[in-house]
Amino acid sequence: MSSAILKFPAPEAEAVPAAVFDEAHFVRQTFGDPDLQQEIIHLFLAQINDARLAFSAPMTTTAWRFLTHTLKGAAASVGANRIAQLASQWELAGSPQDSQGRRLIVEQFNAETAAFTASVQPYIA
The number of domains in the chain is 1
Banded model confidence at residue 125, pLDDT cuts 50, 70, 90: confident
Phi and psi, residue 39, nearest 5°? -65, -45
Q: Is residue 17 part of a domain?
A: no
Domain range for 51 = 30-123
pTM of this prediction?
0.83
Q: Is residue 63 part of a domain?
A: yes
Residue 9 is predicted with a pLDDT of 46
Q: Is residue 2 part of a domain?
A: no
Residues 75-82, mean pLDDT to the nearest whole number: 97
Say if residue 5's pLDDT is above 60. Answer: no
Q: Which residue from 93, 86, 91 is spatially nearest to 110, judged by alpha carbons?
A: 86
Alpha-carbon torsion (9, 11, 13, 15), positive or negative: positive
Q: Is residue 57 part of a domain?
A: yes
